[in-house]
Structure formats: C-alpha cells, structure tokens
Chains A and B, each alone.
Chain A
Amino acid sequence: MRTNVLDRIGALGDPTRRAVFELVAEKARPVGEIAGRLPVTRPAVSQHLKVLKEAGLVTSRANGTRRVYSIDHEGLAELRAYFERFWTKNLAAFKEAVERPAKEKQ
C-alpha cells in the first residue's frame, strides 16, 4: 500500500508525464490522440502511460483494436487524501483558536 502511494507521487514528477496525465484526466483518450496533442512521439507517450498505469494513476481498456486510457480514480484519491487530512486537522485547530476567547469568557 505504502509503496503504491510513493510510486504515484513519483510518477507525476516528470513534466511530460504530468501533461500526459492531465490530458487523460480531462477525458478518456487513446495513445494516438494524446501524442497528437504533445510534442513527443507516440512510443514516448506509451512509455509515460505505462509508468502512470504501474503507479495506479491511469487505467486502460480495449476499445476495438485500440486501448483507451482513463484516470484510475482510486489511485488519485490517495494523493488527495493526504492533503485533505492535513487541512482537516489544521482547520480543527483553527476553529478552536477562533472560538477560544468566547469560550473563556463564559
């Protein structure tokens, strides 16, 4: 579980790979369509997709003779969960600080 999370974050470290990821995040797309929108070759896009797939960020399905790539919702959710926990904790402390004077007067 832990290794998977680390892989996911590391997979987004490369700018081109992040661009590939963002295109797939917009909507499900085949490799050719992604390559057509970026200044990189189709094999390079395939390689980035492979890393993203191994990291659990994207998933693929066969559509006729093509493979269509889309977001792996479960993997991305873990990345977001970290910051959601951070802010939930921080805002709870903020709430206590804001309300402290009023409570003390009571």
Chain B
Amino acid sequence: MTTETTASTRVEVSVEVEAPIARAFEVFTAEIGTWWSPDHHILQADLKEMVFEPRAGGYVYDVGVDGSECRWARVLAYEPPHGVVFSWDISLAWQIETDPARTSEVQVRFVEVGAARTRVVVEHKHLDRHGDGWEQMRDAVGSPDGWGKGLAAFAARAAA
C-alpha cells in the first residue's frame, strides 16, 4: 500500500471505491460529515454537521448542536474532481493548533481507474511538525477497540 521508506515523515493510504471520480470527490469534501470518524472531533457539544468550504482559502469546520464552531483545517487547494489539500491544524493533544509551523498537511488525490471506479490517495505530510503532546492524543482518541473495528469492517467489505 505504501512505498516510501520508514525514514519518511509522511504516510500514504489509498482506497479504491466503486464510484465515478466526481462523486468520490463530492463525498470526500461536501459530504465529509457522512463518513468522518465520529470519535475524532474537538467540539464540546454534540456534532450537528461538518462543513468543507469548496474553495482554496476556506476552512473545514465542525458545527455543534449549540451553534459552536471549530475550524480544524484550512483549505489550501481545491481542484475538483482531481484533488484537494488541507492543513491539519490539530495538535497531537487533539487541540486546535494556532501556529501554522506546527501543523501538518493532507493532500488528497482522486484518480479515475474506470467509469465508475476511483482511486483515492491520502498523503499526510510533515508529521514531525507536530512535536509534543503524543500522550494526550493517545488518551483522547486511542481507545483500544477504536481502530480494530474500522479495520475489521474494511476487511469484511473487501472480502465481500
């Protein structure tokens, strides 16, 4: 799945989906709230919706049922249906990171592999910029069964 060396400070994960490229892009961006991990939000209030502003210079943000907002990414590039780049303004303590020098970057590429089949490649770069706070992040999001469930569902899906 990944080809870079272990010395790299980036990770790349990809998936092939049964959908046209434009649809895949739309679900990843405009409909991000339908699939983004429910465990990974910073808001205190319950989540009402997630908004992915469709332009470079916009934000990705969560909206709580009480109206509170949390901007956790800056949209750095928006080029439907081929790609989108956004910053990862979340510290390893799972708090908003206000210093851009301590944020990483997520580049998403959409590649048409058939009329109704698209490869989606997520490259999360500059991970070393986050620095401190690993323990808090693990405590906040690293529940023992959190990852296992998702991977099991993926495996079941892939095998079906």
Question: Do A and B interact?
Answer: yes
DSSP majority for the A interface? helix
Q: Is the CB of A10 within 8 A of B127?
A: no
Size of interface on B: residues with Cβ below 8 Å to A: 45
Q: Which of B41-49, B73-81, B145-153 contacts A (4 or more CB under 8 A)?
A: B145-153
- B residues near A89, Cβ cutoff 8 Å: 37, 146-147, 150-151, 154
Q: Does A39 contact B (CB under 8 A)?
A: no
Mask, B14-28, CB within 8 Å of A = 1, is 110111000110011
Number of A-B contacts (CB under 8 A): 126
- In the assembly, what is the distance between CA of A88 and CA of B154, in Å? 9
Interface size class of A (residues with CB under 8 A): 35 or more
Name the distance in Å between B133's Cβ and chain A's nearest Cβ: 7
Determine whether A44 belongs to the interface, using a CB cutoff of 8 Å to chain B: no
Write the nearest CB–CB distance from A23 to chain B, whole angstroms: 12
Name A residues whose Cβ lies closer than 8 Å to a Cβ of B: 2, 5-6, 8-10, 12-14, 18, 21-22, 25, 71, 73-74, 76-77, 79-80, 83-99, 102
- For the complex with contacts A12-B131, A88-B13, A92-B150, 6 further pairs of A-B residues with Cβ separation under 8 Å are A5-B138, A6-B138, A12-B130, A90-B150, A92-B15, A102-B18
Residues of B at the A interface (CB closer than 8 Å) are 2, 5-11, 13-15, 17-19, 23-24, 27-28, 31, 34-37, 40, 92, 120, 122, 124, 127-135, 138, 146-147, 150-151, 153-154, 157
The 3 closest A-B pairs by CB, nearest first: A89-B150, A13-B131, A9-B134
